[in-house]
Amino acid sequence: MKKVGFIGWRGMVGSVLIKSMIDESDFKNLEPYFFSTSQAGQKNPEWNIKYKNELLIDAYNIEELSKMDIVITCQGGEYTDKVFSKLRKSGWNGHWVDAASSLRMKKDSVIVLDPINQLSIDEAYDKGIKNWVGGNCTVSLMLLAIHGLLKEDLVEWVSSMTYQAASGAGAKNMRELLLQMGQIYSSVSDDLIQKDLNILDIDGKAMALMNSGNFQKDNFKVPLAGNLIPWIDEDLNNGQSREEWKGQSETNKILSSGFKSIKVDGLCVRIGTMRSHAQALTIKLKKNIPIETINKIISNGNQWVKLIQNDKKSSMNLLSPAAVSGKLDIAVGRIRKLDIEENCISVFTVGDQLLWGAAEPIRRMLKILIKKGR
């Protein structure tokens, strides 16, 4: 059995990965070893699986890592930057499976999203490629949502406006959002009981707290609860954020075998939802086809797409982070022809970015590697 080293299993993506692997009985096909960057020497967590090491191994120990056939890391880019080259330079020739972005655009790595690019994965594997990286969450979710249109080569360009959840920024940020919500509530809880108090006075009190030095914002740097942040990831100093740049570059790397390239651009916005990213897409199609046909093509894209009727009740109840969180469903709705131009359609899509946006593609890649066996 393949020796698989797990790093970053305590974080958001890692814990979702481990849960899915337990649910899908993936552990029975491999020998798991657990590593940590901060808890080496402590006891392994109490999971209902057999692991090989009683105590957590130091995730920076190159000698221990090089005993693995496969290393799967959800620890983040900083860890990859510190360890990956050292491990490769030590002569290790195993498979590196990573959720972080550091290696995504490297020539000798593949961005994995196997329902879309199984062909690229197979070709790269046969060529001896050993670096497999999960894509950006909004990119993977968008591609799965419009998979049907891509297969039919109908997409000329996509403008994506994102509504990204706090969990996309990691465990600490998700906690911070809840703390911010609690802090705002506590500051006005007595006022809310007084039914005749002016709501603008209550709002003013909440705003004053949010804009004060007492508000908890160590991670997001600004309030997210009761607010939004129209910038995600680094500033590329050309008016674009790194998150926005990923839309075009990662999409076309994923589509590089078997699909035509498409233009993608838009704005990425962090909002105060807990988990699951939403995106409003404007899509320019290559030809004018009836809306019923478009619905059918999108719905048949893959087994995870759940087409939501474009009406108020269905959209409110089924097309939201609250409706899809914790599920592999890619909800796709609000599909209609825009008055702007006959070939332009609107699409609103929501998916759990910790599942299809992060853990699921790398869980499936691990399964592919175990099955291929080399």
Whole-number Å distance between alpha carbons of 148 and 274: 29
Of the pair 74, 112, the CB lying nearest ligand NAP is at 74
Which range binds ligand NAP by CB under 6 A, 43-51, 98-106, 154-162, 306-314? 98-106
Of the pair 30, 358, the CB lying nearest ligand NAP is at 358
- Active-site position among 95, 137, 147, 268: 137
Q: Measured from the CB of residue 136, what is the shortest distance to ligand NAP in angstroms?
A: 7
Nearest of 180, 176, 158 to residue 167 by alpha carbon: 176
Of the pair 12, 318, the CB lying nearest ligand NAP is at 12
Contact between 10 and ligand NAP by CB under 6 A: the answer reads yes
* Interaction mask 133-172, ligand NAP, x per CB under 6 A: -x--x-----------------------------xx-xxx
Diameter of the chain measured on Cα atoms? 72
- Active-site position among 95, 147, 268, 277: 277
Of the pair 13, 71, the CB lying nearest ligand NAP is at 13
Q: Measured from the CB of residue 5, what is the shortest distance to ligand NAP in angstroms?
A: 13
Whole-number Å distance between alpha carbons of 196 and 205: 16
Which range binds ligand NAP by CB under 6 A, 93-101, 116-124, 240-248, 317-325? 93-101
Which are the contacts of 26, defined by CB distance < 8 A and separation ≥ 6? 20, 363, 366, 367
Which are the contacts of 21, defined by CB distance < 8 A and separation ≥ 6? 27, 363
Nearest of 32, 14, 328, 289 to residue 148 by alpha carbon: 289
Q: Measured from the CB of residue 59, what is the shortest distance to ligand NAP in angstroms?
A: 6
- The SS3 call for residue 287 is coil
Among 76, 247, 351, 361, binds ligand NAP (CB under 6 A): 76
Q: Measured from the CB of residue 326, what is the shortest distance to ligand NAP in angstroms?
A: 13
Letter string b/e over residues 295-315, b meaning 16 or more CB atoms within 10 A of that residue's CB: bebbeebeebbbbbebeeeeb
# chain residues binding ligand NAP, by CB under 6 A: 28
Whole-number Å distance between alpha carbons of 289 and 226: 41
Whole-number Å distance between alpha carbons of 318 and 350: 10
Whole-number Å distance between alpha carbons of 339 and 341: 6
Q: Which residues are catalytic?
A: 137, 277
Contact positions vs ligand NAP (CB under 6 A) = 8, 10-14, 36-39, 74-77, 99-101, 134, 137, 167-168, 170-172, 353-354, 357-358
